[in-house]
Chain A
Amino acid sequence: MAPEKIKFPVNLSVLILFGLILLSLQLMSSAMQESSQLNAMYSWLLLFNALGSVVLLILVGANIYSLIQHTKRREAGSRLATRMVSLFVVLALAPAVIVFYFSMQFLHQGIDSWFNVEIDRAMEDALELSQASLDQRMRWHLKQTQQLTEKLEDSSENMVALELENLRELSGASEMTLFSRQGRIIASSSINPSDILPSLPDEHIWLQLRQNAVYVALAPVHEEELMVRVIVTVKAREPQYLQALYPVPVRIADLADSVEFAFVRYQEMNYLRNSLKMSFSLALSLVLLMSLLAAIWVAFISVRNITAPVKELVKGTQAVASGHYDQQLPVMAQDDLGFLVESFNDMTHRIAQARDETRKAGFEVENQRAYLETILANLTAGVISFDAIYKIRTANQAAYRIFHIHVNQFIGRTLLELVQSYSELAEPLKSIQRLLEQADDIWQQRIAFLGPNGRQELLCRGTPLFSQEGFRVGAVVVFDDVTDLIQAQKNAAWGEVARRLAHEIKNPLTPIQLSAERLQHKLADKLEPTDADILQRSTRTIVQQVEAMKEMVDDFSEYAKPSKKQTVDIDLPSLVQEVLALYALKSGVKFKTDYEAGLLVINGDPVSIRQVLHNLIKNALEAIDAHGLIEISLHRVQKNNTDFIEIALYDDGPGIKDGQIEKIFEPYVTTKAKGTGLGLAIVKKIIEEHGGAIWVDTSRKVGAGFIIQLPACNYEQL
């Protein structure tokens, strides 16, 4: 990852904004100086700053709103941001408010201290003094003017103008004018000969004059110059008015002006005192408000910058918590948080690695397990494992094949529970259970029972399992169906005997028979009739017995040789009918047949199957002693997903004794006086060679019953 540039916490626009705020505030502050040129812009600056505050307020408000929304949604980093912003605000607010408070205090006290009663009094007194001084001067001028009128009264109308000139010079007035009653100028004299038009009194003065007969007042001639205007009535003549303008000495005028200026200024300030306080407070408040808002806004920006990596970290952590270990966060800064982020990336990388390794290991273990399971499932031996309380934990497919109970029904149950559901397996299951409970070491036992397919023999080996602490945690039982093996061993042994017999016994029989016949042939004529008779009977017996022995040996060889020579599809009902046709002539015997509809075809050697039927029917006939009923039925049955054709053969003879049922199919086991005892053995051999099974139907109480099941040819599927 390329290292990123370290950013400033506050970017350029913020700096510019701050500059603007400061400039604006500074301008406002300058504008408050009376002499400043910015004075005229004060209102605009105030408005601008107020607007700035409002904009900042909106910015801060929007930030607060967004923060609240984030906090409500419990977004990553929002609580940290809230806390930091609060801290910032408190830190900024506290000193600012304190400074603000004391500034206001000083401001108000400072302004108040400008004004006090003594200065008030002094100002008013100074003004009064000026006024008194001017009043005195006015009175003096009035008196002077009144004295002058006496002189004027004496002078003739023609001389008035000249007299006026004299009087003006005498009195020191700057201008003297005589008005008629109607206000017309009679005569005028001025210190400045260029002033042709004298200063005219206005309506107010005339009004006052008519009321009081005299008028005296200060008149500002120009803006700076002060005059005392005196108008008096000249009594002697028709009422006339003399107006005299006396200049106030420049020094006095200046002083009075100065006093007035100071007084007015002071009065104005006094009047504006509250407004002044307010406007200063306003400015101060604006400054505080803007700085605070700007600070808060910057706080928001800074906090956002600070919490951004934290937010990323929280998100990353959540992702890791939910199992996404590939999370890599961008490193934004080379500070402590950047270090943290790098460490986080490192950590997730390592976790991801560890997870991958674990997953790989788990995968391998799983593979191993699956492999073992496959091996176990494909074992011909049944394997069942038990837990500590003898509940079955696992069982393989072979167990199912041997017991014909589906694997699903094994799991989680004890053997005794299975016994209740499968009563036919009660014997072996109980035996295994007993052995499990008793054995403390490896045990081995051969268990024989009559299963659904006849007699079955199991070779069981059990191993109890112990934990490291020595507690019994379960057991494993491995069992093989050795029925076929044992049968094969027996068959092989009998086959060997038969072969030996055929070889060893049959060979001398022909010479014995030939010799006996030769004896008969040679000696019969030479002997006495009685002796010849004896000879003939003896040789006949020899020949007969040899024949019988030959027959017996043939039977043996028949038994010893494989029966399934040439296989074709055999239609069983027609085969059975064919065989029965041979016995149809026998009187006293009834045959009852019951064939299921549909194809009942097997694949096998027809000669062998016919022999099976002959043997069984012959047996039955012998059992019923040529009088009775023989039932033959053919059915299609399904067993372990395979179709079988079931041939059931029943007679109503004396039946088979219980003790013989188990051994009836073994060679040389017979209940009959006559016979080799090989009939049923051959039958069983042929059936087994055809992949079928034969057993005695023990459920039938009358006579004997044999059930044969042979694999069916499934033509229906074709």
Chain B
Amino acid sequence: MRASGSSRRLCYSLYCVVLLWLLPFSGYADKFAAEVKQAGVTLQGDSYVLSADIVYQLSEKAMDALQNGVPLFWDLQVKLQQRRDILWDKTLVDTAIRYRIQYHALLNMYRVRNESNGEVYNFSTLSAALDLMSAVRNFRVIEKSELAPEKQYLCAVKVRFDRDALPLPLRPIAYIDPQWYLSSDWTLWHLKK
């Protein structure tokens, strides 16, 4: 009985190894992926600022992990590239807003922490916590003076779920299980000046 269980575990482990190896080549359906609903960079004063609306979706496993006190991390990655004809595009801005969300059992609330500026927000519901992360307003991207008016620029936004920040035992699974595929794709648009 124990032996068969053990051998099943061994088989499962080997299976995992093989899957892990195949992983980079497989395109999983992003059922639980975050989505950038709307994003735009506008001029505000002397700076270009980012406003974006993002929809976060938590899979059952992610929800379960969160409820059990596992902190989850998302990076809102922002890139600004200058288009060039001959050379590859020049990256002017490559920055990220890092959010951490964790459930606090004592107070029965969700705490969102913006790792980039250290601000902490507490919410009694998860949706409220996610709402905070969803709405990005007036995030300064670049000074106006840094952009040349005749050049073309490309903006890109992506929400990346940081699987490597998960507790170690979860990581191999997070790379295999589509329930942990929570990152969005890149959203690209041309900067209008």
Chain A positions near chain B (C-beta within 8 angstroms): 31-32, 34, 39-40, 42-43, 46-47, 50-51, 53-54, 100-101, 104-105, 108, 127, 130-131, 134, 204, 218-220, 222-223, 256-257, 259-260, 263-265, 267-268, 270-272, 275-282, 284-286, 289
Contact = CB atoms under 8 A, between A and B. Distances in A.
B16 A219 contact: no
Contacts of B139: none
A140 B168 CA distance: 44
A105 B168 contact: no
B141 to A, nearest CB: 28
A50 B106 contact: no
Interface in B136-172: 163-164, 167-172
Interface in B1-59: 2-3, 6, 9-10, 12-14, 16-17, 20-21
Interface stretch (B64-72, B73-81, B183-191): B64-72
10 contacts: A39-B168, A42-B171, A43-B164, A50-B21, A101-B3, A259-B106, A278-B12, A278-B13, A279-B172, A286-B17
B87 interface: no
Contacts of A47: 20-21
Given A43-B175, A104-B6, A265 B69 contact: yes
B116 to A, nearest CB: 16
B12 A268 contact: no
A267 B170 contact: no
A270 B68 contact: yes
Given A100-B10, A204-B128, 17 more contacts: A32-B168, A34-B167, A43-B163, A130-B106, A131-B106, A134-B106, A218-B107, A220-B111, A220-B120, A260-B104, A264-B69, A271-B69, A271-B70, A275-B173, A278-B9, A278-B16, A289-B17
A220 B124 CA distance: 12
A256 B106 contact: yes
Given A282-B16, A285-B10, A271 B104 contact: no
A100 B11 CA distance: 13
Contacts of B172: 43, 46, 278-279, 282
Contacts of B128: 204
Interface in B61-104: 64-65, 68-70, 104
A267 B21 contact: no
A277 B14 CA distance: 14
Contacts of B64: 271
A263 B105 contact: yes
A278 B120 contact: no
Contacts of B173: 275, 278
Contacts of B13: 278, 281-282, 284-286
Specify which of A54, A263, A272, A284 lies most central, judged by the most chain B CB atoms within 10 Å of its CB.
Answer: A272
Nearest to A124: B105
Contacts of B179: none
B7 to A, nearest CB: 8
Nearest to A103: B6
Counting chain A CB atoms within 10 Å of each CB, the highest count among B16, B65, B125 belongs to B16
A264 B71 CA distance: 11
Nearest to A36: B168
Nearest to A283: B13
Contacts of A268: 68-70, 167
Of B10, B111, B122, most buried by chain A (CB within 10 Å of CB) is: B10
B17 A101 contact: no
Nearest to B17: A50
Nearest to B9: A281
A284 B16 CA distance: 13
Contacts of B163: 43
A42 B171 CA distance: 8
Contacts of B168: 31-32, 34, 39, 42, 279
Interface residues of B, number: 38
A281 B105 contact: no
- Pairs of residues from A and B, 7 with the lowest C-beta to C-beta distance, nearest first: A271-B68, A264-B69, A275-B169, A260-B106, A285-B13, A276-B169, A279-B169
A338 to B, nearest CB: 43
Nearest to A219: B122
A101 B169 contact: no
Interface string B104-137: 1111000100000000101111001000000000
Contacts of A282: 13, 16-17, 172
A54 B14 CA distance: 11
Given A50-B17, A127-B105, A259-B106, A272 B169 contact: yes
A264 B105 contact: yes
Contacts of A134: 106
A363 to B, nearest CB: 71
A222 B175 CA distance: 35
A220 B111 CA distance: 10
Contact of B171 (A43, A219, A284, A286): A43
B120 A223 contact: yes
A54 B123 CA distance: 48
B68 to A, nearest CB: 4
Nearest to B18: A50
Contact of B21 (A40, A54, A257): A54
A584 B48 CA distance: 161
Contacts of A105: 2, 6
Contact of A267 (B10, B69, B169): B69
Given A218-B107, A260-B104, A278-B12, A272 B171 contact: no
Nearest to B108: A131
Nearest to A34: B168
A278 B17 CA distance: 11
B166 to A, nearest CB: 9
Contacts of A264: 69, 104-105
Contact of A272 (B17, B164, B170): B170
Contact of B68 (A42, A54, A127, A267): A267
Nearest to B14: A285
A371 to B, nearest CB: 82
Nearest to A41: B164
Nearest to B69: A264
B172 to A, nearest CB: 6
Contacts of A289: 14, 17
A282 B125 CA distance: 37
Contacts of A101: 3, 6
Contacts of B104: 260, 264
A271 B175 contact: no
B105 A260 contact: yes
B21 A204 contact: no
Nearest to B102: A264
A220 B104 CA distance: 11
Given A272-B170, A275-B170, A278-B173, A220 B9 contact: no
Contacts of B107: 218, 220
A53 B107 CA distance: 47
A204 B124 contact: yes
A358 B21 CA distance: 69
Contacts of A257: 106
A375 to B, nearest CB: 88
A283 B4 CA distance: 19
A313 to B, nearest CB: 41
A518 B64 CA distance: 182
Task: Select the residue from B10, B65, B106, B123 with max chain A CB neighbours within 10 A.
Answer: B106
B130 to A, nearest CB: 14
Contacts of A218: 107
A46 B16 CA distance: 11
A32 B21 CA distance: 19
